[in-house]
């Protein structure tokens, strides 16, 4: 069975009350339930972890090697600062989709750079809850592509 790790970074546990005009009113739990249901339709298992601590997220990425087939990550503001998370993700062999609810490219300049961008398969941003759905759609292709070539998705 394909196993997906969904990682949520700092302050995403505040969704629902956090800047609703930018992030909407759904809670993180709402997003997770939605993306888990969509992954479930593919027969996939989705595990979610949220942390406000960079090191915890890094250790989750380390532990994902050989266990999970793909990662979906919304690293919150660590996206714009964390070279440590970049390096951890760089050592994960499967597809990685970077997700943002908002469109960081259209916001403050400090959000215009992603340290993760060079090591992810692609980024989906600006579509609210739909960003997560689109990440699953992308993975249908990316995970499928690898199994068709005989390459294990988590090699
Ligand atoms: C975010 C965008 C980041 O710039 C911000 O720091 C977040 C949320 C998003 O989902 O739009 O925490 O990742």
31, 86, 100, 132: which is the annotated catalytic residue? 100
Question: Which among 34, 48, 51, 41 is positioned nearest to 4, based on CA atoms?
Answer: 48
pTM of the predicted structure, to 2 decimals = 0.94
Nearest protein Cα to ligand 1, atom 13? 76
Question: Which two tokens mark 98?
Answer: 């970077």
Q: Tens digit of pLDDT for each residue in 57-108?
A: 999 999 999 999 999 999 999 999 999 999 999 999 999 999 999 999 999 9
- Candidates 77, 81, 114, 123: which one to mutate for ligand 1, based on the most atoms within 8 Å of Cβ? 77
d(Cα 73, Cα 105) in Å, to the nearest integer?
A: 17
Indicate whether residue 11 lines ligand 1 (CB < 6 A).
Answer: yes
Instruction: Give the rounded percent of residues in the chain with a pLDDT score beyond 70.
Output: 93
Cβ 8 under 6 angstroms from ligand 1: no
Per-residue model confidence as pLDDT tens digits over 35-64? 999 999 999 999 999 999 999 999 999 999
Q: What is the pLDDT of residues 106-140, one digit of tens each?
A: 999 999 999 999 999 999 999 999 999 999 999 99
Q: Looking at ligand 1, which atom is closest to the CA of residue 102?
A: 11
Average pLDDT, the chain: 95
The structural domains of the chain, ordered by start, are 3-148 (3.40.50.9100)
């Amino acid at each position: 069975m394909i196993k997906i790790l969904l990682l949520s970074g700092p302050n995403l546990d505040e969704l629902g009350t956090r800047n609703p005009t930018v992030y909407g009113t759904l809670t993180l739990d709402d997003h997770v339930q939605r993306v888990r249901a969509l992954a479930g339709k593919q027969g996939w298992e989705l595990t979610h972890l949220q942390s406000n601590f960079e090191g915890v997220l890094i250790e989750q990425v380390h532990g994902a090697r050989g266990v999970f087939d793909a990662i979906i990550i919304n690293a919150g503001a660590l996206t714009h600062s964390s070279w440590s998370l970049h390096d951890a993700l760089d050592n994960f062999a499967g597809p990685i989709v970077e997700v943002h609810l908002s469109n960081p490219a259209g916001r403050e300049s400090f959000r215009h750079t992603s340290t993760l961008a060079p090591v992810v398969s692609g980024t989906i941003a600006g579509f609210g809850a739909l960003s997560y759905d689109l990440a699953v759609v992308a993975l249908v292709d990316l995970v499928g592509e690898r199994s068709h070539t005989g390459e294990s998705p988590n090699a």
